[in-house]
Structure 1
Amino acid sequence: MNNSPEGWGRRVLSALALVVAISFGAHWAYELLRPLVPYAVSAAVVLLVVLAVLRRRRW
């Protein structure tokens, strides 16, 4: 009743390789995007202030 032609060992090794590849990709993306975090936080604060000001002007 084995639906997969590969054994458990190969499936575990394949899953482990996938986890390692995803972790390396996430680490690379984090290192690439880390310098943008202060700008994103600043932009979010400015957007919230602008939305608050515009909402008060409508009333």
Structure 2
Amino acid sequence: DPFTIFGLFNKQIKEENRIKILTAIAELFNLQTEIPSSFESIPVLMNQNATFYYFIGD
């Protein structure tokens, strides 16, 4: 789901790790767009709750 994809890199992690995650996603989907170098004004999620789907047993 798209919200979980955004949650992957909008967690409380270092900016360099956000860039690494986005680079991997771009490579996986063969995207040719420029990777952001700044994430100012983008709200972050709590690390424990960054997915928007349930796991088996939840």
Rg comparison, structure with higher value: 1
Shared fold (TM-score, shorter chain, > 0.5): no
Q: TM-score per shorter chain, which class?
A: 0.3 to 0.5
User: Larger RCO: Structure 1 or Structure 2 (Cα < 8 Å, ≥ 6 residues apart)?
Assistant: 2
Q: How high is the TM-score relative to the length of structure 2?
A: 0.33
Q: TM-score, normalised by structure 1?
A: 0.32
Give 1 or 2: higher helix fraction.
1
